[in-house]
Amino acid sequence: MTLSNIVLVGVDGSPESGAALKYAVAEANRRGARLRVVSTYFPEYSVHGRTHPLTESEPAIEVDVEAQTRHMVEEALAGDAPPPVEIVVAAGPAANVLIERSGDVDVLVLGHRGRGGFASMLLGSVSLQCVLHAQCPVIVVRPAAVAQSAPIAEPVAAGTAESEAAGPTAEHAN
């Protein structure tokens, strides 16, 4: 396995993804790696089983998503020596985009759940799909406590024995 020296993190604006971003910044600094921050949007929507394209132009949506993501990154970098950061905005389902991009990075960092409607879930659907299908080790971050200034993250490492990339994850978890 060739190392790319890139830590990938998925963000959606939720407090959980903010905790994952802070963890990813620390992980990138620890590794001396670059940080790639990915945020996604849907280029279409469904109503009553029919799919329709968005009426707003995709460039306008991308600009808005990138601005929100950049704001999250600036907050996460406050007070830390920042690693080199790349912000990526991509159209499509978050899990698919992250899984596709996981082959080019050393590790993927995610919050345990995002903006989905099931707050009681221990693991959200995007995190679950990434843990099951990513091509690199995945770190799932659960906020242990929420301070007034920033969440404190407690990582949970996961991997599968079927993947070559699972070795480093399994070693890290032990």
Q: Is residue 162 part of a domain?
A: yes
Dihedral sign, CA of 25, 28, 31, 32?
A: negative
CATH (domain of 90) = 3.40.50.12370
For the cut 50, the answer to whether the pLDDT of residue 148 exceeds it is: no
Render pLDDT for 68-83 as a digit per residue (tens, 0 to 9).
999 999 999 987 678 9
Could you list the residue range(s) of the whole structural domain that residue 62 is in? 6-173
pTM score of the predicted model = 0.75
- Would you report the helix, strand and coil content of the chain in percent, each value rounded to 5? 35, 30, 35
Residue 60, both tokens: 């306008």
Per-residue pLDDT band at 122 (split at 50, 70, 90): low
Of 40, 37, 1, 168, nearest in space to 109 by CA: 37
Number of domains observed in the structure of the chain: 1
Between 148 and 163, the more confident residue is 163
Residue 53: per-residue pLDDT: 65
Q: Is residue 57 part of a domain?
A: yes
Mean pLDDT of all residues belonging to the chain? 79
Number of other residues whose CB lies within 10 A of the CB of residue 34? 17
Asked if 107 contacts 4 with a C-beta cutoff of 8 angstroms, the reply is no
The stretch 111-128 carries a mean pLDDT of: 68
